[in-house]
Amino acid sequence: MRLIIYFLLFLFVLMPLSAELPESRLADLVPMASRAVLMDATSGRILYAKNPDEPIPPASLTKLMTIHLIFQDLEHKKYTLDQLVPVTSATDARAMPEGSSLMFLQAGQLVTVRELLTGLVVDSGNDAGLTLAVFSSGSQQAFVARMNAEAARLGMVHTIFYDSYGYDSRNKTTARELAQFCRYMILKHPYLLQLSAQKELAYPLAANWPPSYHGPVRTIWQKNRNELLWAYPGADGLKTGYITESGYNLAGTAIRGHQRLIAIVLGVQAPNSSVGSYLRTQAAKSLFDYGFQRYPLSELPVPLLPAVKAWYVVGDKVLVQPRTPVIYPLSDEERSEISVKVDLPDSVIGPFGSDRPVGKLVWSLQGKPVTSVDLVAASPVQPASWWQDFLDAITLFFRGIFGLPAPLNLSGPSSSS
């Protein structure tokens, strides 16, 4: 039987709230978008949702999965950022569909993986996406198979890809899955934010031509298509997209203090690219303003924690503490209604490592768990003397005979050793 202690911190509340807000109440926050999600990157909590599970072509947001797989290759040391990638007539700018956004690659140029990733993010170059796909997997078809396998592995059940750069309208995803994927990308690949924060790219440079080339070097300067970088303080990513079938899309992120938010804006309809880019940027700004102002990060309250009876250790009790402080986005109203449950066993068998979970703290809003943290020993747990071990063994033997609860056996090294 476990000792479960409830510390309810309810005060008067102004309105009922839940961990994920009802989308209907706030559906007009971004009227220009058909689908949207605002997520806190630290916790993964969705702060706003509008049609979050309706599939839509992601357009060039598809390139985020391409970038992720290239980062995977780099982590597996398949190649390096400075590896030269061959550009052929089958993957250069002239091979791209009409109306493509381009890095303006030309067959025979010398371009690195780093430059192609930058062209993929900043210029949204379809030619960069195809070139990287073929370089990584031998063909776009093989690379797309990897994209879909990775989406399935990550639980993106409404996401499917047909190309590596987003031109195909059969590509599908949802605002929720994009937000979750962007959070995963930011946490796993910090270099992504260095790329997505770049405001312009100049390509090609003289170094991108082989020594045998003696023609003119016509460098093209292109601005990052993500206008949030100029329009919102703290914005540093991530990606824009557009095809006729989807409208104007944006996966944006911004940081303020220690809080990072992710805004997914999909399906903005507009008569031209200037208006479409402006509207999706305004939608993301509205979401960021709402999130930062209404849901700042708060350190969650920790109640007075009881010591746990411990066997075969120096002393007969173990003091516990949260493994780490827990911060979570809460409105003013929610801070007054958060509750926390302490889940600890009656007793434990030691000794055990200082990072071995002993119990758990679980915080809830309106009875629904929203986040948790392990409870660990507050100080090293040392083995008892042989005499104390003997006495504890006798005591536990008779406890078993009389049907008393068995202690939780935590003896052994730490879980990370």
> Tell me, what's the pLDDT at 402?
86
> Of 71, 179, 72, 60, which is closest to residue 126 (Cα–Cα)?
60
Which residues fall within 8 angstroms of residue 195, CB to CB, at 6 or more apart?
67, 117, 118, 121, 122
Q: CA 203 → CA 36, 41, 217, distances in Å?
A: 34, 33, 9
> Tell me, what's the pLDDT at 384?
83
DSSP 56: B
Percentage of the chain beyond pLDDT 90 is 79
* CATH 3.40.710.10 domain residues, the chain: 31-294
Residue entry with tokens 């979401």: 287
Query: Burial letters for 246-275: b for 16+ Cβ neighbours within 10 Å, e otherwise?
Result: bbbbbbbbbbbeebbbbbbbbbbebeeeee
Residue 226 identity: N
Q: Does domain 31-294 have CATH number 3.40.710.10?
A: yes
Residue 385 identity: S
> Tell me, what's the pLDDT at 272?
97
Q: What would the pLDDT profile of 311-370 be if each residue is shown by its tens digit? A: 888 988 999 999 999 999 999 999 989 999 999 999 988 898 888 999 999 999 988 999
> Tell me, what's the pLDDT at 51?
96
Neighbours of 244 (CB within 10 A): 10
> Tell me, what's the pLDDT at 5?
33
* CATH 2.60.410.10 domain residues, the chain: 2-11+300-409
- Helix, strand or coil for residue 298? strand
Task: Give the span between the Cα atoms of 196 and 122, in whole angstroms.
Answer: 6
- What is the token pair recorded at 350? 């030691």
Blockwise average pLDDT, block size 10, the chain, 417 residues: 32 33 61 98 97 98 99 98 96 94 96 98 97 98 99 98 98 99 98 97 96 93 98 98 98 98 99 98 98 96 93 90 95 93 92 90 94 93 84 84 87 55
> Of 163, 188, 160, 173, which is closest to residue 68 (Cα–Cα)?
188
Which residues fall within 8 angstroms of residue 207, CB to CB, at 6 or more apart?
110
> Tell me, what's the pLDDT at 215?
92
Q: Does domain 2-11+300-409 have CATH number 3.90.700.10?
A: no
Residue entry with tokens 């609860």: 405
- What is the token pair recorded at 210? 């082989």
- pTM listed for this prediction: 0.88
> Tell me, what's the pLDDT at 413?
58
